[in-house]
Amino acid sequence: MNDNSLRLVWVYPDLLSTYGDQGNALVVERRAQQRGIAVERVDVRSDQPVPAGADIYLIGGGEDRPQRLAAERLRRDGGLNRAAANGAIIFSVCAGYQILGHEFINDLNEREAGLGLLDVISTRGEKERCVGDVLGDIDERLGLPPLTGFENHQGITHLGPGARPFARTRFGNGNGTGDGTEGAWNDTVFGTYMHGPVLARNPQIADLLIRLAMDAPSLPALDDRWYEALREERIAAATQPA
Ligand code: GLN
């Protein structure tokens, strides 16, 4: 799309929206509007079809059972896969991230097929649940400041050759594989374990999604002092002894 408008879809708020993930939709919407971009936001419940013609899709985290239901419905619906084939930008958090991969372990302890939009596979971690603050450095190709966020997951995610780590952790678990990676991305599809909500804590990621969707090399700067103060506080908290 090249006119000055953006279609934003928040996928399955009734099943996948834990730890403030709704904030991600609010932040994308607000930051686009602050640049004079008209936003049409559609919240698509799990009993509704996912429209394939939007520009940005957000999908959040969830408990194990809603995660299985969401995966079943998204596979059956096919709309998110069609959107990805159309080149839409998709940003996913935690359970949503696992669903975008090839498979994950569901609440019945069975392998559940994902959508295959990211070359990752999630298994159930044998160690303690990954819970707490995370600090990382985002893939330098994306040109973004350090990532801060909060994670809460049992699943761990292994990247295949078609997915790049979204970030490298300085603190916290991220993908939970012990290799220091956090999240995954290919050119249009992104996954992270960061709640936070992640776009409220890292608004430059919201701007990245908007730029990619609008095919815009840059966006006008905004007053981000509040966000930067929060980032500095989280970096200090993560890097200083308690
Ligand atoms: N149920 C998944 C896990 O524990 C995702 C949890 C979440 O989205 N916070 O790995």
CA 197 – ligand 1 centroid, Å: 14
Q: What is the pLDDT of residue 56?
A: 98
Given this model, what pLDDT does residue 238 score? 82
Q: Is 67 in the pocket of ligand 1 (CB under 6 A)?
A: yes
> Is residue 65 predicted with pLDDT exceeding 90?
yes
| CATH number assigned to the domain comprising residue 119 | 3.40.50.880
Element (H, E) at 108: none
**Environment class of 35 (CB within 10 Å of its CB; exposed 0-12, middle 13-18, buried 19+):** middle
Assign residue 23 a region: left if phi > 0, alpha if psi is -120 to 50, beta otherwise?
alpha
Please choose from 122, 153, 156, 192 the residue to mutate so as to test ligand 1's pocket, defined by most ligand atoms within 8 A of CB.
153
With a CB cutoff of 8 Å and minimum separation 6, the contacts of 53 are 7, 83, 86
CB-based contacts of 61, cutoff 8 Å, min separation 6: 16, 17, 18, 19, 21, 93, 94, 95, 96, 152, 153, 195
Distance between Cα 95 and ligand 1 center (Å): 5
Q: Give the pLDDT score at 196.
A: 79
Instruction: Give the structural domain span for 54.
Output: 5-239
The DSSP-derived string for 121-190 is EEEE-SSS-EEEEEEEEE-GGG--PPEEEEEEESEEEEE-TT-EEEEEEEES-TTSSSSSEEEEE-SSEE
pLDDT single digits (tens) 173-218? 999 999 999 999 999 999 999 997 999 999 999 999 999 999 999 9
pTM: 0.96
Q: Is the CB of residue 62 below 6 angstroms from any atom belonging to ligand 1? A: yes
Q: Which residues are marked as active site?
A: 94, 195
Domain count for the chain, please give it: 1
State how far the Cα of 84 lies from the Cα of 239, in Å rounded to an integer.
Answer: 38
Q: In which residue are the tokens 């002092």 written? A: 225
- Report the atom number in ligand 1 closest to the C-alpha of 107: 1
Ligand 1 pocket test, candidate residues 152, 177, 194, 195, most atoms within 8 A of CB: 152
The CA distance from 7 to 49, in Å, is: 15
pLDDT in tens, 89-133: 999 999 999 999 999 999 999 999 999 999 999 999 999 999 999
Identify the residue whose C-alpha is closest to ligand 1 atom 6: 153
Give the pLDDT score at 1: 45
